[in-house]
């Protein structure tokens, strides 16, 4: 009987250690992930009219490094999506435009936090960086064409999702991400007897939402 108790205790200790090892992630590992999904964009409103966007496929890749404490990781993210944009004029004398393809690239740096229970791992993420908007030549309803140059703006993203760990080095992931470009209209610095203040004008022309799945590889 005593031998049976000792054997049971050893078995429980071994199982507990294995479960702990499975639930803990080596923070020094490098993680590579690739995603593909579908992205939608809200309508953008301007003084001359509205710009609507079609839903489109989106692709992305990320590299995360375990250089932060606890379950936090530093991540470098890139996503790309090509969508058709339509400008509808609301001003007399200003022509509308036919659908124009716009390629949208996000280049982001952020922090992700994970919480693992068994083979399931939930995560949240916040990033900030740049968005590159590259439209094709715009054809107007008046018959003219308009060449629009690419533009770079500040942007940030927020994401949440979960992973299913197939192996310790491989997981399937699903995520929902909010992508927000921000434009700055100018700023000013005001100083007086009561102190000084820096004022910056900014706005959010539209909001994008992406729903993706992919694979994560731990090196």
Domains and CATH numbers, the chain: 27-184+200-218 (2.40.160.20)
Which residue in this structure is represented by tokens 């107007």?
Answer: 140
Residue with tokens 């200003």: 94
pLDDT of residue 144: 86
Residue found by looking up tokens 């022309």 in the block: 205
Write down the pLDDT at residue 184.
Answer: 57
| Class of residue 15 by CB neighbours under 10 A (exposed 0-12, middle 13-18, buried 19+) | exposed
Q: What is the DSSP letter of 168?
A: T
Residue 218's alpha-carbon distances to 4, 36, 181, in angstroms, are: 40, 19, 31
Question: What does the angle CA 100 – CA 214 – CA 212 come to, to the nearest 5 degrees?
Answer: 45
Contact 159, 178 (CB under 8 A): yes
Question: How do strand 120-135 and strand 138-139 relate by DSSP bridges?
Answer: unpaired
Put residue 82 in one of left, alpha, beta given phi > 0 → left and psi -120 to 50 → alpha. beta
Neighbours of 174 (CB within 10 A): 14
d(CA 207, CA 201): 18
**The predicted structure's pLDDT at residue 138:** 86
Question: Residue 167: which residues within 8 A CB-CB, separation 6 or more?
Answer: none
pLDDT of residue 11: 41
For residue 107, give the nearest of 82, 83, 84, 130 by alpha carbon.
Answer: 130
Q: Which residue has the tokens 């700055």?
A: 184
H or E segment to which residue 2 belongs: helix 2-23
Q: How far apart are the first and last CA of the chain?
A: 46
Q: How far apart are the C-alpha atoms of 133 and 185, rounded to whole Å? A: 17
pLDDT in tens, the chain (219 residues): 544 454 444 444 444 443 344 444 555 589 999 999 999 999 888 888 888 999 999 999 999 998 777 678 999 999 999 999 988 888 888 888 899 999 999 999 999 999 989 999 999 999 999 999 998 888 888 888 888 888 898 999 999 999 999 998 999 999 999 999 987 554 444 444 444 444 434 467 889 999 999 999 998
With a CB cutoff of 8 Å and minimum separation 6, the contacts of 194 are none
């Amino acid at each position: 009987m005593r031998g049976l108790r000792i054997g049971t205790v050893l078995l429980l200790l071994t199982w507990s250690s294995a479960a702990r090892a499975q639930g803990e992630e080596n923070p020094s590992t490098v993680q590579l992930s690739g995603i593909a999904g579908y992205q939608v964009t809200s309508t953008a409103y301007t003084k001359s009219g509205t710009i609507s966007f079609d839903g489109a496929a989106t692709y992305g890749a990320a590299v995360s490094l375990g250089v932060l404490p606890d379950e936090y990781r530093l991540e470098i993210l890139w996503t790309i999506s090509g969508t058709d944009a339509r400008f509808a004029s609301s001003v007399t004398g200003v022509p509308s435009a036919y659908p124009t393809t716009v390629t949208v690239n996000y280049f982001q740096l952020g922090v992700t936090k994970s919480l693992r229970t068994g083979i399931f791992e939930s995560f949240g993420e916040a990033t900030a960086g740049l968005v590159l908007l590259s439209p094709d030549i715009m054809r107007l309803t008046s018959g003219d064409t308009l060449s629009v140059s690419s533009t770079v703006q500040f942007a940030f993203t927020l994401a949440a999702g979960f992973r299913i760990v197939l192996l310790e080095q491989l997981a399937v992931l699903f995520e929902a991400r909010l992508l927000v470009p921000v434009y700055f209209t100018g700023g000013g610095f005001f100083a007086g007897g009561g102190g000084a203040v820096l004022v910056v004008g900014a706005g959010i022309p539209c909001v994008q939402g992406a729903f993706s799945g992919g694979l994560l590889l731990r090196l």
